[in-house]
């Protein structure tokens, strides 16, 4: 997994609440058995005029000009600014895969859906929760060339005029994201604890340890 | 020990280890696997040279991509076919039990799990699908996960989790005729919003919940995720115990009696403290219909499409305007005046035998309206389909002009050939009315099986409380 340390990047404003994972990556693209290549189909129905199909070449597809990602001001954006309950709906990890594959590294919103929030950390994406008021302020400031600096270690966002906003993140999630660590390798180091748990649990719930 | 909630008990029962910041390693008793969110997990296991920790705690079934028409001809779409074949291959390679497309037990993963007794009270249950919350109906801690966690659970039989907060939703009183489990949960989502449960595990309680069958309880817990909660759950009672007796994967012999004793404790203790409590009066709930593009955009059947100008929150007002435009509806329009093009009765929310029976009761001796282009009944599993056929329900539907299909997710998310065309409007018993969910440009109205069946007969929504 790609580590997240510090970035300074353009911000793309997606001014909608309850953006669901069906909107982030429509279901036809979930038929892929690969993990990469979802970026061109990110927000497919909002981004293109035609109906997207898996493996389609997107270079010449007609664009919906009013969609934020089609605005030339935000082409190199690595930070997505959006509204509450971002990523609600399906658990599809294809949603963070598509966002990351497109080039985003961080998402700022007043709230995220739980499963999506969790999935971001497995994919080098930093979801940042700020108060609705702070998010409102950022929406009012965003314009062409507007950049934010995000520092995970310091847990700060710095605006172009030097204002510093603190954000919260769990220590263990931060540690793994900052170092780009593989969760499974870390968990397997605790194999002895898992086996001890199983031995103890087998006494309390033997039916879960009958071979099926 | 102080009084615990059901969620507290389930959580503490599965903690392997807790870090200083509260993140815990949680043991997973059952993983359900389907074709859409697992291929990358298996591929990664292969690349890392890792084996599953316990193959027997996994159960796989293809459901999202499978055709609901004649299975003997295979899957026409080569990309869907490859995904289903990949599941078959992965399960063979890693030694995981799979109910393949030709197996009578095949069906929607969240219908198959409880039906087989593969998901049981007191378990932790995960699946790469957000509607895993369904299994909480049996007092299990069940929640949806992403593909990285599917891989993590396969490789370690554990997940790294942080404990959620406790949310009690108490629904007391008896619902009126024509009001179902689906209406209860839609009314709850309408009241607390789709983000109302974010960060919480919800326990549903109260007399309106305990008087539901297991099927009804599954409908309620299924949509906990639509209220923002990863997990929804209901305490064990006799209904739960009786449901799991003699299921193929249920405990046998002495294990059953021991399990029964253990399961009886799966309820919140008197005096247990919840971080949030919402009380709902069941007697006030009417049949529900969603009008917008989020499950919280829901009203009663006798209401009108709401007007965004009445909403003071500007973000919500904008969402409402977007939704009205997408749905092709006007503020003030009576819900009963909304004509539908297609009807879908199925999905992990409402495709169990009780749902099929309820819909059949509504359509018996009647005909689907002329303006309905397609009315689909998609049973949740091969066993539900078989049961319904033994009861002669298939004949009732076919005589009325419905199509009687093979089990799968079908038009809930339109990954197979069952979908809405652009602009088409559907009365659907599924769980999400998001833009494009049932097909590009398709318009979804979420309702109960009874309401969907009546809409098929009349061609528009009707108040089933005074419909004969």
B148-183 confidence digits (pLDDT tens)? 999 999 999 999 999 999 999 999 999 999 999 999
Q: How far is A12 from chain B (nearest CA, A)?
A: 18
Task: Give the whole-angstrom CA distance, residue B374 versus residue B366.
Answer: 16
**E strands within B66-193?**
97-99, 124-127, 141-144, 158-162, 165-172
Q: Does B165 touch chain A (CB under 8 A)?
A: no
Q: How far is A23 from chain B (nearest CA, A)?
A: 7
Query: Average model confidence (pLDDT) for chain B?
Result: 97
Interchain pair B27, A198: CB under 8 A: yes
Listing from the earlier edge strand, what are the strands of the sheet with A126-129? Answer: A126-129, A106-109, A79-82, A6-14, A147-151, A156-158, A164-166
Interchain pair A187, B156: CB under 8 A: yes
List all residues of chain A from 37 to 76 with a beta carbon under 8 Å from chain B.
Answer: 45, 51, 54-55
Q: How many CB atoms lie within 10 A of CB B9?
A: 19
Q: Does B25 touch chain A (CB under 8 A)?
A: yes
Query: What is each CA distance from B358 to B175, B285, B403, B430, in whole angstroms?
Result: 16, 19, 16, 15
The 10s digit of each residue's pLDDT in B270-285 is 999 999 999 999 999 9
Interchain pair A18, B319: CB under 8 A: yes
Q: Is the pLDDT of residue B369 over 90?
A: yes
Q: Does B318 touch chain A (CB under 8 A)?
A: yes
Q: Is the pLDDT of residue B468 over 80?
A: no
In chain B, % helix, strand, coil (3-state, to 5) comes to: 40, 20, 45
Give the pTM: 0.97
ipTM: 0.95
List all residues of chain B from 84 to 103 with a beta carbon under 8 Å from chain A.
Answer: 86, 97
What percentage of chain B carries pLDDT values higher than 90? 99
The 10s digit of each residue's pLDDT in B46-89 is 999 999 999 999 999 999 999 999 999 999 999 999 999 999 99
pLDDT given for residue A211 in this prediction? 80
Residues of B with Cβ-Cβ distance to A55 under 8 angstroms = 79
pLDDT given for residue B144 in this prediction? 98
The 10s digit of each residue's pLDDT in B428-463 is 999 999 999 999 999 999 999 999 999 999 999 999
Task: Give the whole-angstrom CA distance, residue A141 versus residue A159.
Answer: 9
pLDDT given for residue B1 in this prediction? 66
Q: What is the mean pLDDT of each run of 10 residues along chain A (212 residues)?
A: 96 97 97 96 98 95 97 96 97 98 98 97 97 97 95 98 97 95 94 98 96 76
Q: What is the mean pLDDT of residues B284-312?
A: 98
């Amino acid at each position: 997994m790609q580590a997240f340390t510090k970035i300074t990047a353009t911000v793309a404003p997606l001014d909608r609440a309850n953006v669901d994972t069906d909107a982030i990556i429509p279901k036809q693209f979930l038929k892929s058995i690969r993990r990469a290549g979802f970026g061109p189909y990110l927000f497919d129905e909002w981004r293109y005029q035609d109906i997207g199909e898996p493996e389609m070449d997107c270079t010449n597809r007609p664009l919906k000009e009013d969609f934020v990602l089609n605005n030339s001001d935000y082409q190199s954006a690595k930070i997505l600014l959006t509204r509450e309950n971002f990523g609600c709906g399906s658990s599809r990890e294809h949603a963070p895969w598509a966002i990351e594959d497109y080039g985003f590294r961080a998402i700022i919103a007043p709230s995220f859906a739980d499963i999506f929030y969790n999935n971001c950390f497995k994919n080098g994406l930093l979801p940042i929760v700020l108060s609705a008021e702070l998010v409102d302020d950022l929406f009012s400031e965003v314009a062409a060339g507007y950049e934010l600096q995000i520092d995970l270690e310091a847990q700060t966002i710095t605006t172009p005029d030097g204002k510093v906003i603190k954000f919260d993140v769990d220590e263990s999630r931060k540690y793994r994201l900052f170092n780009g660590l593989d969760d499974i390798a870390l968990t397997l180091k605790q194999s002895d604890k898992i086996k001890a748990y199983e031995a103890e649990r087998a006494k309390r719930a033997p039916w879960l340890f009958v071979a099926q | 020990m102080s009084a615990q909630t059901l969620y507290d008990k389930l959580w503490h029962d599965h903690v392997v280890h807790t870090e200083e910041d509260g993140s815990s390693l949680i043991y997973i008793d059952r993983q359900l696997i389907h074709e859409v969110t697992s291929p990358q997990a298996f591929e990664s296991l292969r690349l890392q040279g890792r084996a599953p920790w316990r193959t027997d705690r996994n159960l796989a079934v293809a459901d999202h991509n499978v055709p609901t028409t004649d299975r003997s001809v295979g899957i026409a779409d080569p990309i869907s076919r490859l995904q289903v074949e990949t599941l078959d291959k992965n399960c063979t390679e890693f030694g995981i039990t799979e109910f393949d497309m030709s197996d009578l037990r095949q069906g929607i993963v969240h219908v198959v799990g409880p039906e087989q007794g593969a998901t049981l009270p007191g378990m932790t249950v995960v699946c790469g699908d957000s509607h895993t919350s369904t299994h909480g109906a049996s007092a299990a801690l069940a929640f949806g996960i992403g593909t990285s966690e599917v891989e993590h659970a396969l490789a370690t039989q554990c997940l790294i989790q942080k404990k959620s907060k406790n949310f009690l939703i108490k629904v007391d009183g008896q619902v009126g005729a024509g009001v179902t489990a689906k209406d209860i949960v839609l009314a709850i989502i309408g009241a607390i919003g789709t983000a109302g449960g974010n960060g919480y595990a919800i326990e549903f309680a109260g007399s309106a919940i305990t008087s539901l069958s297991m099927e009804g309880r599954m409908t309620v817990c299924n949509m906990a995720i639509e209220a923002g909660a990863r997990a929804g759950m209901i305490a064990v009672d006799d209904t739960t115990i009786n449901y799991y007796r003699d299921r193929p994967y249920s405990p046998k012999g002495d294990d059953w009696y021991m399990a029964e004793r253990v399961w009886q404790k799966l309820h919140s203790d008197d005096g247990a403290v919840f971080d949030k409590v919402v009380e709902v009066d069941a007697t006030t709930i009417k049949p529900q219909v969603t009008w917008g593009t989020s499950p919280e955009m829901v009203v009663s059947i006798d209401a009108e499409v709401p007007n965004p100008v009445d909403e003071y929150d500007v973000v919500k007002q904008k969402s409402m305007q977007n939704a009205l435009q997408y749905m092709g509806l006007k503020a003030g329009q009576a819900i009963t005046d909304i004509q539908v093009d297609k009807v879908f009765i199925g999905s992990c929310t409402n495709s169990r035998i009780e749902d099929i029976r309820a819909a059949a009761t509504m359509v018996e001796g009647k005909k689907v309206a002329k303006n309905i282009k397609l009315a689909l009944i998609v049973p949740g599993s091969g066993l539900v389909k078989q049961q319904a056929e033994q009861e002669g329900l298939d004949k009732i539907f076919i005589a009325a002009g419905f199509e009687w299909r093979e089990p799968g997710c079908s038009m809930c998310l339109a990954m197979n050939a069952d979908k809405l065309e652009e602009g088409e409007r559907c009365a659907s018993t599924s769980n999400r009315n998001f833009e494009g969910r049932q097909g590009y440009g398709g318009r979804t109205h979420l309702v109960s099986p009874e309401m969907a069946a009546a809409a098929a007969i009349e061609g528009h929504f009707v108040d089933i409380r005074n419909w004969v």
